[in-house]
Chain A
Amino acid sequence: MYLYTMDEYISFEQIPFGSDNFAENPEPRCPCVLLLDTSGSMGGMPIDQLNDGVLTFKQELMQDPLAAKRVEVAIVTFGPVTVEADFHTVPNFHPRTLETTGDTPMGAAINLGIEMVSRRKREYKEHGIAYYKPWIILITDGAPTDEWASAALNVREGENARKFAFFAIGVEGANLDILKQISVRAPLKLKGLMFREFFMWLSASMKMVSGKTPGAAINLISPSGWSEL
């Protein structure tokens, strides 16, 4: 078939097909809270490597245009327990250099992280924003110096109710026995100070978040490369 346009014929093959008129929905979000141990024992190389790792995390996510719009990062440091950065999409996430101070109030940090993702989900709902299951990542080189039984209970309840996915990463010196009692998923031990590799893995896993999962499963890339387990 031919269409007559102004003064020339165009063949059917030349008729453009497609649409760039897409619905204007807000980007779905995937909240991610980093619970970072900044107690005294993390001083020196570990905190330097952790700072580098967080920057790598941002850079890796920025390279994926969709992940940059969808992943929202927040940071809680302990101790003392501080909201270092509230939820921001990646371009607006500007991590400051973390310094080490104080003891290890891990229990309070975990409870705060859980509260933060609950609040964020309420905000998404209020604004009609679709979202993915939140991720809470705990990184520590020690053991809690505060009450942590309630945090362990909250992690268990939240995981069972599919409210979030919780991951515990132990740096050299971490009490993995306690981490096992806190995290439903087996805690992973960081090889040396491979924070950079860990955060590259985390960003790669988060880029796959739109993949469908039956039940409570989460799409994960194999943690080989940075994990001892």
Chain B
Amino acid sequence: MMWKAIGYSAAGTAHTAADKGCEDAIRFRSVYGNDGEALVCCASDGAGSTQYGGWAAEFSTSRMVDRISQSVNTPAGVTEAAVYAMVEEIYEELHAEAEYRQADLSEFSCTLLGCCIMDSRSVFFQVGDGAIVRNDGLDFYTAVWWPQNGEYLNTTSFLADDPTFKDLRIAVIHEPVAEVALFTDGLQLLALNMEAGTVHQPFFEDLFRVVRIAENEEEVGILQQKLAEFLESSQVNSRTDDDKTLFLASRLVS
């Protein structure tokens, strides 16, 4: 185990009140490849007002993590072009599903954000809001991109919006990343300082402090359980009624 990774999606109180389940989704795994262990994670927020947004979020994250995992061991590896092709493929699959169910493609609206962290190279991608945060190496947490919101807080861009993916952002960073976090928009107002345009450092410092000292899979399992409790706690729910997803990963220092 080279990565200590935990991640969870919790239903928002507004969703529960409206008899809707959680429409966020998260998938992550470690993949052993030619260049050691790669950490692959993908999260998505299905649009609450749509019929199949939650399904699209589940489908897209699971498909994306599978495709990246396969790509890790190809000669070219996970490149910008490879990620673009995967997103294109998922769009086509959502399109086919919409035709099959005779529904409008917008009923499959979901955001998509994720990463593949390798030894000395990382790939990040994002459509829509939420954010990916990484430790910049000097224990400062920085967002890879600022969330894409429109004029209104509940508007954003979705994977199914546009076959040309003008809102898809992909970045490749050629440096080691020791800590990465990823969250959907339900946590945006808790984890980001909107006016300053910065990541709220104490929030991630508190969380990573404990992830850092975990030493084995059993302890990671305990943290996974505690993350779920934290995301479902009244202190979090008093600040957000939306579905929320949080992923935290710290490289094991040996």
Which residues of A approach B to under 8 Å, CB–CB? Answer: 1, 3, 12-13, 15-25, 28, 64-66, 128, 130-133, 162, 207-215, 217-219, 221
Contacts and interface: CB of A to CB of B under 8 A. Distances in A.
Given A12-B219, A207-B14, A219 B153 contact: no
Contacts of A3: 213
Contacts, number: 134
A65 B240 CA distance: 10
B34 interface: no
A17 B50 contact: no
Contacts of A219: 48-49
A15 B210 contact: yes
Interface residues of B, number: 56
A22 B14 contact: no
Interface in B216-250: 219, 222-223, 226-227, 229-230, 233, 235, 238-242
A211 B49 contact: yes
Contact of A22 (B210, B213, B239): B239
A16 B223 CA distance: 10
B202 A21 contact: yes
B241 A213 contact: no
B15 to A, nearest CB: 7
Task: Please classify the interface of chain A as helix (H, G, I), strand (E, B), loop, or mixed, using the class held by over half of its residues.
Answer: loop
Contact of B153 (A16, A22, A132): A132
Nearest to A213: B49
Given A1-B213, A17-B227, A219-B49, A210 B203 contact: no
B142 interface: no
25 contacts: A1-B214, A1-B215, A15-B213, A17-B210, A17-B223, A23-B200, A28-B153, A28-B189, A128-B195, A208-B17, A208-B48, A210-B154, A210-B240, A210-B241, A211-B15, A211-B18, A212-B46, A212-B53, A212-B154, A213-B47, A213-B155, A214-B160, A214-B161, A217-B49, A219-B48
A24 B193 CA distance: 7
A15 B215 CA distance: 14
Nearest to A65: B238
Given A18-B207, A130-B194, A133-B155, 17 more contacts: A15-B210, A17-B230, A19-B207, A22-B203, A23-B190, A132-B154, A133-B152, A208-B17, A208-B18, A210-B14, A211-B18, A212-B45, A212-B46, A212-B155, A213-B48, A213-B155, A219-B48
Contact of A128 (B106, B153, B194, B239): B194
B9 interface: no
B158 interface: yes
B214 A66 contact: no
Interface in B61-111: 106, 109
A15 B206 CA distance: 12
Nearest to B151: A162
Contacts of B193: 23-25
B191 interface: yes
B219 A25 contact: no
A214 B223 contact: no
Contact of B202 (A19, A25, A64): A19
A1 B241 CA distance: 36
B192 interface: yes
Nearest to B161: A214
A20 B238 CA distance: 11
B216 to A, nearest CB: 8
Contacts of B215: 1
B114 interface: no
Of A20, A128, A214, the most chain B CB neighbours within 10 A belong to: A214
Contacts of A213: 47-50, 154-155
B189 A23 contact: yes
Contacts of A221: 18
Contacts of A128: 194-195
A211 B48 contact: yes
Contacts of A209: 154
A133 B152 CA distance: 6
B7 interface: no
Of B149, B160, B185, B195, the most chain A CB neighbours within 10 A belong to: B195
Contacts of A215: 106
Nearest to A3: B213
A135 to B, nearest CB: 12
A132 B241 CA distance: 14
